C-alpha cells in the first residue's frame, strides 16, 4: 500500500530498546497517517524534512496487546521517495 502527502513531523522514539522514527504525513484535508520507520529504514529519513512531499510504501501490521487485549494497527515503512515540486529544484 502507498501513502503520499506532506511531512508534518518526524519524531524519534525509543521504547524498551526498540528504536523507531514516527513520521506524521498529511495525505489530504483533515487526515493524518502515522508511519513507523524501524531499524535501517530510519536512515532513509535523513534526506527529508518537515513539509517535504513524499510517497511511502507501507505494510500493515496488526497486534493484540498481551496485557490489555487492545488491538493495534501499525503502518510500517518499506520504502520512501520524494514527490511533487521538490523534485524539480
Share of the chain above pLDDT 90, in %: 84
Tens digits of residue pLDDT in 35-63: 999 999 999 999 999 999 999 999 999 99
The DSSP code for 28 is S
Indicate the number of domains in the chain.
1
Containing structural domain, residue 28: 2-88
Instruction: Name every residue whose Cβ is closer than 8 Å to that of residue 23 and which is 6 or more positions away in sequence.
Output: 7, 9, 10, 11, 34, 35, 37, 45, 56, 77
Phi-psi region of 65 (alpha: psi -120 to 50; beta: other; left: phi over 0): beta
Nearest to 52 by CA among 2, 3, 4, 6: 6
Lowest mean pLDDT of 24-33, 58-67, 70-79, name the range. 24-33
75 is written with which cell numbers? 503502518
pLDDT value at residue 84:
80
pLDDT grade, residue 15 (50/70/90)?
Answer: confident
Instruction: Name the band, by pLDDT with cuts 50, 70 and 90, for residue 85.
Output: low
DSSP 88: G
Which domain CATH number covers 7?
Answer: 2.40.50.140
Amino acid at each position: 500500500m502507498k501513502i503520499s502527502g506532506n511531512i508534518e513531523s518526524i519524531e524519534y522514539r525509543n521504547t524498551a530498546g526498540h528504536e523507531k522514527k514516527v513520521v506524521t504525513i498529511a495525505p489530504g484535508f483533515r487526515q493524518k497517517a502515522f508511519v513507523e520507520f524501524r531499524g535501517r529504514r530510519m536512515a532513509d529519513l535523513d534526506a527529508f524534512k518537515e513539509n517535504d512531499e513524499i510517497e511511502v510504501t507501507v505494510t500493515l501490521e496488526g497486534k493484540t496487546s498481551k496485557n490489555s487485549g487492545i488491538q493495534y494497527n501499525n503502518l510500517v515503512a518499506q520504502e520512501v521517495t520524494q514527490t511533487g515540486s521538490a523534485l524539480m529544484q
